[in-house]
Amino acid sequence: MKTNSVDWINNIINQKEVVNFPLMTNSGIELIGKKVIDAVTNGEVHYEAVKILAEKYPSIASSVIMDLTVESESFGAEISFTDNDMPNVIGRLVKDEASIDALQIPDINTGRMPEYIKANKLISENVNKPIFAGCTGPFSFAGRLYGITEFMMGMYINPDEVKKLLDKCTDFIIKYCNALKAAGSNGVVVAEPVAGLLSNDACKEFSSVYVKRIVEEVQDDSFAVFLHNCGNKGQCTEAMVYTGAMGYHFGNEIDMVQALKDCPSDVLVMGNIDPVGILKLDIPDEVYNETMDLLNRTSEYPNFVMSSGCDTPPRIPFENIDKYFQAVIDYNKKL
């Protein structure tokens, strides 16, 4: 659906009720009786999974699968697939400056990219909620191509080489985001979990500078960038905010109230119910209690958006999902 992102965000901030925006797609795949591998390789299955979730649950917007392999696959990385878990990058595609120099920025129609763009287009055309696409953040993306351990040491040993790869990854992400925007998406969640392992200064130099470039290139009134960093324990929130994104999405490692204090009041601040420890493994009553507790703790912040701390995993009990949504409904009734 078409919407003005700035107005949409301002409405959320100005309304009394807390809105709910979990990053949840696996449950939709299960609801339509398909496997993860079907959804990550077929845009129509992906769309059907998102659509059924949009119809079943009162989330404020829809999101797509957080698949951190799509971009790497387009560059030529080897990907492993299993039926019911997310794909994974195997090995290292680049190992030195020569291989980085030789790396060609691929066409946007390479690998599974067209299926993801198709899913976003179908959701945009047929689901009556804003749709937030997804892409891998530059640091997490480059780390997958280079090897995360080696990439983090490369920041010290050969920063120019590392930055050359970050540049190429960023250029490609911008192309991808523009294609997602053209497909009708209302914004994108840039998933940058690995940058959460860095200090604020390193996060800024090796991640935020590049995310800022993406923001400057693709964010406008019709397309919002939300930066997701579930590794941040609070040390690099300032670096995240430096990017100028319209929203920040945090994981369960962070103190959500502190994150709200550290972010501007005119952007959305989303998080952070533990997707595994609480949503998947806890009992329904505890899911309800934890969600209500987070709502109470964040009550002073109108820009808070209830969410999962990351993309929720497969096989979450539906009773738990119901309790998670019910807590937000009950909280809003009391306002």
Partner 1 sequence: MIDLKILFDAIVEGKLEPAVEVTKEAIKEKIDPQILISDYMIKAMEEIGQRFEDGKAYVPELLMSARAMKGSLELIKPLLTGKKSATIGKVVIGTVYGDLHEIGKNLVASMLEGCGFEVVNLGTNISADQFVDAVKKEHADILCLSALLTTTMVYMKVVIDKLKEENMRDKVKVMVGGAPLNEAFARKIGADCYCDNANDSVARAREMVAGA
* Residue from 99, 178, 235, 326 in contact with partner 1 (CB under 8 A): 235
Indicate which single residue of 199, 258, 265, 299 sits in contact with partner 1 (rule: CB under 8 A): 199
Q: Interface with partner 1 includes 299 (CB under 8 A)?
A: no
Residue of the chain from 9, 202, 273, 328 that contacts partner 1 (CB under 8 A): 202
Angle at 231 between CA 257 and CA 47, to 5 degrees: 95
How buried is residue 149: exposed, middle or buried, by Cβ count under 10 Å (0-12/13-18/19+)?
A: exposed
DSSP β-bridge partners for residue 190: 135, 227
Half-sphere exposure of 212 (CA within 13 A, CB side): 14
Binding to partner 1 by residue 37, rule CB under 8 A? no
Question: In this structure, what are the phi and psi dihedrals at residue 123, rounded to the nearest 5 degrees?
Answer: -65, -45
Place of tokens 């040491």: 153
The reply to whether 182 sits near partner 1 by the rule CB under 8 A is no
- Kindly state whether residue 90 participates in binding partner 1, applying the rule CB under 8 A: yes
Under the binding rule (CB under 8 A), the answer on residue 148 touching partner 1 is yes
Backbone angles phi, psi at 273, to 5 degrees: -65, 125
277 binds partner 1 (CB under 8 A): yes
Q: Classify 177 in phi/psi space as left (phi over 0), alpha (psi -120 to 50) or beta.
A: alpha
Residue from 80, 158, 258, 265 touching partner 1 (CB under 8 A): that is 80
Q: Which helix (H) or strand (E) holds 166?
A: helix 159-182
Which tokens sit at 237?
Answer: 């929130």
Supply the minimum distance, in Å, between the C-beta of residue 186 and partner 1.
30
105 binds partner 1 (CB under 8 A): no
> Kind of pairing, strands 78-80 and 131-136?
unpaired
Q: Please identify, using beta-carbon distances, which residue of 82 and 299 lies nearer to partner 1.
A: 82
- 194 lies in the binding site for partner 1 (CB under 8 A): yes
Query: Residue 187 in contact with residue 221, Cβ under 8 Å?
Result: no
Confirm or reject binding of residue 1 to partner 1 (CB under 8 A): no
- Residue 234 or 244 having the CB closest to partner 1: 234
| Beta-sheet pairing, 224-229 with 187-191 | parallel
| Interatomic CA distance for residues 79 and 98, integer angstroms | 23
Contact between 209 and partner 1 by CB under 8 A: the answer reads no
| Footprint (CB under 8 A) of partner 1, residues 108-147 | 147
Nearer to partner 1, 71 or 187 (CB): 71
Verify binding: residue 153, partner 1, rule CB under 8 A: yes
Interacting residue ranges for partner 1, rule: CB under 8 A: 80, 82, 84-85, 88, 90, 147-149, 152-153, 155-156, 194, 197-199, 202, 233, 235, 276-277, 280-281, 313-315
